[in-house]
Amino acid sequence: MSKVMHDATKAQGLSEELQTPLERRTFLRYTGLGLAMGGLALAGCNDVMEDVVKTQDASANATDMANMVDVGSGDVGVLNYAYALEQLEAAFYAQVLQTQYYNSTSAPQRVALRDIEAHERIHREFFKQAITAAGATPIKDLEVDFSSIDFRTKQGVLSVAKAFEDLGVAAYNGAGKLIKTAAYLAIAGKIVSVEARHAAIIRDFLEYNTFVGADVVDQNGLEKSMTPAQVVAIANNFLKEGSKLNVSNLPTE
């Protein structure tokens, strides 16, 4: 029920979304919303809805899953999940540094983008080595798909940079509690604040004094977390077929 209720806030966009064909998940959301609004099924609603969604997801994705990159389970899975996101970020900034935009923009932006590129590359290489050192196997080198990104303009480059940095912070914040080993949690903590620094300066470049805001921080002043499933739903849009991420084996709490 919690999920259903949460989606009640999205009802405003209902008419707009109805113009487009309903996906299975969207349909379920509306059905669930109707149930909750009707005051039916207080108890047990949560479980029923979740099970239905889970079954649907499983059948829809069964064939796709085989073609996805499974980040694995347990702490190593979380490390590989972080490694995957760092690969994505590093690839993005590597491409940014090759653009005419980077070469022609203001000196402070060039310094920031150059630094961030180095930081993300360091994070990527660190995870690759650390996972290996832990006796586990890093996931493969992911192939990115940045065809939807406009690398020519400030808006094109920085809005995606902002999205990636905010996503990275929310991802680390959501993954912290999934980690069981204190040393790994400490590492994640050392990286997430750097990602937050990146996010703040990129946002300030786009619009001054937007380094923090209601879109990323709740009414208690807490930055919003995202679950791995929420994160890869976005990240997979920037990964090629065969490099899309499957996080279904990660711990959930």
Scanning residues 66 to 125, which ones bind another protein (CB under 8 A)? 106-109, 111-112, 115, 118-119, 121-123, 125
Smallest distance, Å, CB 145 to another protein?
25
> Which of the residues 220 through 239 are near another protein (CB under 8 A)?
220-225
Among 52, 204, 229, 242, binds another protein (CB under 8 A): 204
| 186 counts as binding another protein under rule CB under 8 A | yes
Q: How far apart are the first and last CA of the chain?
A: 18
Other Cβ atoms less than 10 A from the Cβ of 56: the count is 14
Compare residues 43 and 66 and give the one whose CB is closer to another protein. 43
The binder of another protein chosen from 24, 25, 180, 240 (CB under 8 A): 180
Q: Is 205 in the site for another protein (CB under 8 A)?
A: yes
Structure tokens at 33: 């919303």
Strand-pairing partners, residue 219, are none
Using the contact rule CB under 8 A, the part of the chain among 52-60, 126-134, 138-146, 236-244 near another protein is: 126-134
Compute how many residues bind another protein; rule: CB under 8 A: 73
For Cα atoms 26, 239, 122, give the angle at the middle one, nearest 5 degrees: 125
| Given 144, 194, 236, 241, the residue binding another protein (CB under 8 A) | 194
Please identify which residue in 67, 177, 237, 249 interacts with another protein, judged by CB under 8 A.
177
Q: Applying CB under 8 A, which part among 12-20, 51-59, 178-186, 242-250 lies near another protein?
A: 178-186
Among the listed residues 42, 62, 103, 147, the single contact to another protein using CB under 8 A? 42
Question: What does the alpha-carbon distance between residue 19 and residue 152 come to, in Å, rounded to a whole number?
Answer: 32
Count other C-beta atoms under 10 Å from residue 49's C-beta: 21
- Of 86, 84, 79, 82, nearest to 184 by C-alpha is 79
Q: Do the Cβ atoms of 157 and 99 come closer than 8 Å?
A: yes
Count each helix (H run) and each strand (E run) in the chain, helices first: 10, 2
Q: Which two tokens stand for residue 192?
A: 């997430």
Nearer to another protein among residue 70 and residue 197 (C-beta): 197
Contacts of 170 (CB under 8 A, 6+ apart): 216, 223, 224, 225, 226, 231
The region of 68-76, 95-103, 140-148, 171-179 touching another protein under the rule CB under 8 A is 171-179
Task: Candidates 58, 60, 217, 229: give the one binding another protein (CB under 8 A).
Answer: 217
